[in-house]
Structure 1
Amino acid sequence: MRIALTHNLRLTDSEDEAEFDSRETIDALTAALERLGHRIEVSGPASRTAARIEAYSPELIFNTAEGRRGRFREAFYPALFDELGFPYTGSDAWVLAVTLDKSLTKLMLSEHGVISPRGQFIDDIVDLKLDGWRFPLIVKPNFEGSSKGITQDSVCEERGRLRALVEKTLARFPAGVLVEEFIPGKDLTVAFLEKAAPERQGVLTPVEYVIDEAELSKRRYRIYDYDLKSVHHEAVHVRTPAQFAGHILQRAQDMARKAYRALGCRDLGRIDFRIAEDGQVYFIEINALPSLEPGAGIYAAAALEGLHTDGVLAKVIESAALRWGLHDPGKRRNRPPRKTGPLRVGFTFNVKRIKPEIDGRKDEEAEYDPPQTIQAVREAIAAAGHEVIDLEATTELPTVLAATPVDVVFNMAEGIKGRNREAVVPALLELLDIPYSGSDPTALSIALDKAIAKRIVRQHGILTPNFMTLTTGKERLPRDLKFPLIVKPNAEGSSKGVHRTSVVDTEAELREAAREMIAKYDQPALVEDYIAGREFTVGLLGERRPKVLPPMEVVFLAKEAHPVYSFEYKQDWSSKIRYDVPAQLEPGQLKALERAARECFIALGCRDVARVDFRM
Structure 2
Amino acid sequence: MSRLRVLVLMGGPSTEHDVSVVSGTGVVRAMNPERYNIHPVLIDKDGTWHWSARELSPYQKDNFSVNYFRSLEGTAACTKKSPALSELPAADIAFLALHGKWGEDGHIQALLENWGIPYTGCGLLASALAMDKIKSKEIYRANGIPTPPYRVIWKHDFTGDTLVSVADELGFPLVIKDPLGGSSIGIGIAKNLDEAGKIAQDLFKDSNRLLCEKFIAGGEASCGYIEGEKPLPPTEMRMTTREYFDFEAKYNGECQEVTPAEFPAELTARIQELAKNAHFALGGAGYSRTDVRIAKDGQIYAIETNTLPGMTPTSILPAQAACNGITYSQLIDMIIDKSLAIKR
TM over 0.5: yes
Q: Which residue number corresponds to residue 282 of structure 1?
A: 301
Question: Does the aligned pair in 1 maintain the 2:23–2:97 contact within 8 Å?
Answer: no
Query: 1:194-205, aligned counterparts within 5 Å?
Result: 194-197=227-230, 203-205=231-233
Question: Does the aligned pair in 2 maintain the 1:149–1:226 contact within 8 Å?
Answer: no
Equivalent AA in structure 2 for residue 132 of structure 1: E
Indicate the SS of the match to 1:285.
Answer: strand
Deviation at 1:294, TM superposition (A): 2.1
2:314 to 286, 292, 295: 295
Question: Does the aligned pair in 1 maintain the 2:236–2:260 contact within 8 Å?
Answer: yes
Query: 1:274-423, aligned counterparts within 5 Å?
Result: 274-323=293-342
Q: Which residue number corresponds to residue 34 of structure 1?
A: 32
Q: Which residue number corresponds to residue 3 of structure 1?
A: 6
May I ask how many residue pairs the two structures share in their alignment? 300
Quick one: structure 1 residues 36 and 267, their matched pair in 2 at CA, closer, same or farther if it must change by over 3 Å?
farther
| Residues 256-276 of structure 1: per-residue CA shift (max 9 Å, x gap) | 221111111111211000111
Q: Which residue number corresponds to residue 103 of structure 1?
A: 134
Q: Which residue number corresponds to residue 106 of structure 2?
A: 75
Quick one: structure 1 residues 53 and 116, their matched pair in 2 at CA, closer, same or farther if it must change by over 3 Å?
farther
Q: TM-score, normalised by structure 2?
A: 0.79
Q: Which residue number corresponds to residue 98 of structure 2?
A: 65
Q: Which residue number corresponds to residue 263 of structure 2?
A: 244
Deviation at 1:22, TM superposition (A): 5.3
Q: Which residue number corresponds to residue 203 of structure 2?
A: 169
1:142 to 165, 168, 179: 179
Query: 1:212-251, aligned counterparts within 5 Å?
Result: 215-216=240-241, 219=242, 221=243, 223-230=244-251, 232-233=252-253, 235-251=254-270
Indicate the SS of the match to 1:183.
Answer: coil
Kindly indicate which of the two structures has a greater share of residues assigned to strand. 2
Query: 1:375-524, aligned counterparts within 5 Å?
Result: none
Q: Structure with the greater relative contact order (CA < 8 A, sep ≥ 6): 1 or 2?
A: 2
Distance 1:67 1:91 in 2: 14
Answer yes or no: is 1:178 the counterpart of 2:197. Answer: no
Distance 1:272 1:103 in 2: 15
Q: Which residue number corresponds to residue 597 of structure 1?
A: none
Equivalent AA in structure 2 for residue 4 of structure 1: L
Question: Does the aligned pair in 1 maintain the 2:224–2:317 contact within 8 Å?
Answer: yes
Question: Does the aligned pair in 1 maintain the 2:154–2:209 contact within 8 Å?
Answer: yes
Deviation at 1:298, TM superposition (A): 0.2
Deviation at 1:137, TM superposition (A): 1.0
Equivalent AA in structure 1 for residue 107 of structure 2: F
Query: 1:107-146, aligned counterparts within 5 Å?
Result: 107-124=138-155, 125-126=158-159, 128=163, 129-130=165-166, 131-146=168-183
Q: Percent identity?
A: 25
Distance 1:268 1:224 in 2: 22
| Residues 218-273 of structure 1: per-residue CA shift (max 9 Å, x gap) | x4x2x11222223x22x433212212222222221222221111111111211000
Q: Which residue number corresponds to residue 210 of structure 1?
A: 238
Equivalent AA in structure 1 for residue 178 of structure 2: P
Indicate the SS of the match to 2:224.
Answer: strand
Indicate the SS of the match to 1:187.
Answer: strand
| Residues 1-30 of structure 1: per-residue CA shift (max 9 Å, x gap) | 1111112268xxxxx633544544323211
Distance 2:333 2:116 in 1: 22
Q: Which residue number corresponds to residue 18 of structure 1?
A: 16
Deviation at 1:301, TM superposition (A): 0.8
Q: Which residue number corresponds to residue 92 of structure 1?
A: 123
Equivalent AA in structure 2 for residue 38 of structure 1: Y
Deviation at 1:166, TM superposition (A): 1.7
Question: Does the aligned pair in 2 maintain the 1:187–1:208 contact within 8 Å?
Answer: yes
Indicate the SS of the match to 2:169.
Answer: coil
Distance 1:23 1:67 in 2: 12
Quick one: structure 1 residues 163 and 68, their matched pair in 2 at CA, closer, same or farther if it must change by over 3 Å?
closer
Deviation at 1:103, TM superposition (A): 1.1
| Residues 438-496 of structure 1: per-residue CA shift (max 9 Å, x gap) | xxxxxxxxxxxxxxxxxxxxxxxxxxxxxxxxxxxxxxxxxxxxxxxxxxxxxxxxxxx
Question: Does the aligned pair in 2 maintain the 1:3–1:38 contact within 8 Å?
Answer: yes
Distance 2:225 2:17 in 1: 19
Distance 1:86 1:55 in 2: 11
Indicate the SS of the match to 2:84.
Answer: helix
Question: Does the aligned pair in 2 maintain the 1:196–1:305 contact within 8 Å?
Answer: no
Deviation at 1:65, TM superposition (A): 2.6
Deviation at 1:315, TM superposition (A): 0.9
Q: Which residue number corresponds to residue 262 of structure 1?
A: 281
Deviation at 1:112, TM superposition (A): 1.1
Indicate the SS of the match to 2:94.
Answer: strand
Question: Does the aligned pair in 1 maintain the 2:222–2:236 contact within 8 Å?
Answer: yes
Quick one: structure 1 residues 44 and 165, their matched pair in 2 at CA, closer, same or farther if it must change by over 3 Å?
closer
Distance 1:18 1:187 in 2: 21
Indicate the SS of the match to 1:56.
Answer: coil
Q: Which residue number corresponds to residue 224 of structure 2?
A: 191
Structure of larger gyration radius: 1
Unaligned runs of 5+ in 2: 49-79
Deviation at 1:64, TM superposition (A): 2.2
Deviation at 1:195, TM superposition (A): 4.3
Question: Does the aligned pair in 1 maintain the 2:291–2:304 contact within 8 Å?
Answer: yes
| Residues 418-452 of structure 1: per-residue CA shift (max 9 Å, x gap) | xxxxxxxxxxxxxxxxxxxxxxxxxxxxxxxxxxx
Indicate the SS of the match to 1:7.
Answer: strand
Distance 2:288 2:101 in 1: 20
Deviation at 1:62, TM superposition (A): 1.0
Deviation at 1:43, TM superposition (A): 1.9
